[in-house]
Structure 1
């Protein structure tokens, strides 16, 4: 494991109470690293930050067009959603259009993070279903691709045509042979890469042109769907949604479990990938906000940015007790 850098600090008064170390890269459309922290060769699992890569075969194969998928559905194929009605209603209709339903999803049930939906389930003494799973949009995309490819029902199996297509796209756009995989929370394979590989993939997404080849056109459609529908990519109160809104169409953002984050900046043709090694979400959100401020796509004074970049640590009584802040090394960006 390569040497990581201190990227985020937690201060209580004048005392440095905690610190978060990690790795980050900024890559251009050619795949070159133009800035970085820590070890770019660190092998990582991108988790849900890989969803845009996993959705590439859905678009490239022609499956999305054959099924008449909308930009909303493409955004949901890249989403880690809250399980709110705006998410579950759309996934339900998507499955219904294919003659499928909840039981065809292999992602497993999940209690929704959306407070209103969760409260309704608790009041009704009802259990969450698979459509509530934050990855149900990705899995609806897998099912759409599977039907197009003539695959069987076990679409999360590593040898299934869907996952073989995902692996091929993943390795091509990262420019690496994946050293292995883990099983994600939604039961699908999550292929490993180096941090530089994920940065290279984000740079490729950022530099893709509408008039380019099949891969580029697919990348453009997915990144534009995300920026057009930030509410579907995550949900209210979530960093991806709020920071994309604050960026006003200048960045596509996607978090992943265990403090991973990626960003696509089409105007600058730059991609960002970062990993906080202790898995702390507070640190990954601070780090990605800081990098995007440094790149000029976010305003440090925007309330949604300050909420992540410099959140105040409060006492139980509401007193200001400290602050989460980017490290000096990260601020040099």
Structure 2
């Protein structure tokens, strides 16, 4: 099946752009709804950090290192590189007897405006702690130290990444057809949109309090850490943080590069996964917002819905010049 029209941009009474993609809603009983091709194979990118963090807990490494909810939230984060992120990851590494050079994620300028400005106006260069994936990599290092594995934990043949792949395939209930290397240098395993939604539903059911066992407990802890610390999962002004706050901690959401978005709704056992084909963040944020509203998880009148979906787009003079609309078929 082809991608479905999801989000349109209208200007001057004409449709200027359309964003196509795939979306799946899954619950305890299976697939609830789908748009586009539910079997489309995608790279989930950072939307699957919860899956990548499961070995951290299941292996006992998290408890051995005394990790709390803040560290677990950071293990699932694509953060802004603000001081609340950088300082916490630095302290986490220090507690392990490790430091910034032990990371393998690379360095980039932080997206947090104050921290970006501080570095820009000084002679200090960004370090790997500023990388949006530094929390995930601190989790990787925690597992690696616990298992006394080699330092290059990002390599696809490293025992850690083999453990991640096993867990990823078990929770998505699919054999991954392969991997690509993510921006942080770790492998990112491919799956279908429905496989990703199925995995998010598994997290939702676990976080609802149903079930038992090590994996269920690990899923529950990660989901609850995310909803307890939305500011650590992303940061101020970011859709993940603002949407989770708007839903009062009842739903965990996570974006991934190239316009992937997922949601975990424990009260309903629901998992959502979507991918916008052209990689536009504008469209993935609008689409996840629309689905959260449609499913009754997010109040349609909340200001965050306006920000990401219904408010007009304004030019540099503040004039309303365009609007986002749900495409026919995605608006039902």
Cα drift, residue 210 of structure 1: 6.1
**Matches of 1:326 and 1:90 in 2, distance apart?**
39
Aligned-pair Cα RMSD in Å: 0.9
Among 125, 130, 142, the residue aligned to 1:144: 142
Aligned to 1:15: 14
**Matches of 2:171 and 2:267 in 1, distance apart?**
20
TM-score (norm 2): 0.98
**Matches of 2:125 and 2:50 in 1, distance apart?**
29
Aligned to 2:227: 227
Cα drift, residue 212 of structure 1: 1.0
Q: CA-to-partner distance for each residue in 1:116-160, whole Å, 9 max, x for gaps?
A: 000000111321000000000000000001111221100001111
Among 30, 40, 52, the residue aligned to 2:38: 40
Aligned to 1:181: 179
Aligned to 1:3: 2
**Matches of 2:282 and 2:266 in 1, distance apart?**
26
Paired residues, number: 330
Aligned to 1:28: 27
Q: CA-to-partner distance for each residue in 1:236-267, whole Å, 9 max, x for gaps?
A: 00000000000012110000000000000000
**Matches of 1:310 and 1:126 in 2, distance apart?**
40
Cα drift, residue 316 of structure 1: 2.5
Q: Within 5 Å, which residues of 2 pair with 1:162-241? A: 162-208=160-206, 209=209, 212-241=212-241
**Matches of 2:263 and 2:113 in 1, distance apart?**
27
Deviates more, 1:239-248 or 1:120-129: 120-129
Cα drift, residue 326 of structure 1: 1.8
Among 123, 127, 130, the residue aligned to 1:125: 123
Q: Is the partner of 1:202 in helix, strand or coil?
A: helix
Cα drift, residue 9 of structure 1: 0.4
Q: Is the partner of 2:154 in helix, strand or coil?
A: coil
Runs of at least 4 residues off by over 6 Å: none
Structure 2: stretches of 5+ with no match in the other structure: none
Aligned to 1:56: 54
Is the 1:311–1:325 Cα contact (8 Å) retained in structure 2?
no
Is the 1:76–1:232 Cα contact (8 Å) retained in structure 2?
yes
Q: CA-to-partner distance for each residue in 1:1-25, whole Å, 9 max, x for gaps?
A: x301000000112110000000000
Deviates more, 1:301-310 or 1:183-192: 301-310
Is the 1:149–1:161 Cα contact (8 Å) retained in structure 2?
no
**Matches of 1:280 and 1:251 in 2, distance apart?**
23
Q: Is the partner of 1:226 in helix, strand or coil?
A: helix
TM-score (norm 1): 0.98
**Matches of 2:316 and 2:46 in 1, distance apart?**
33
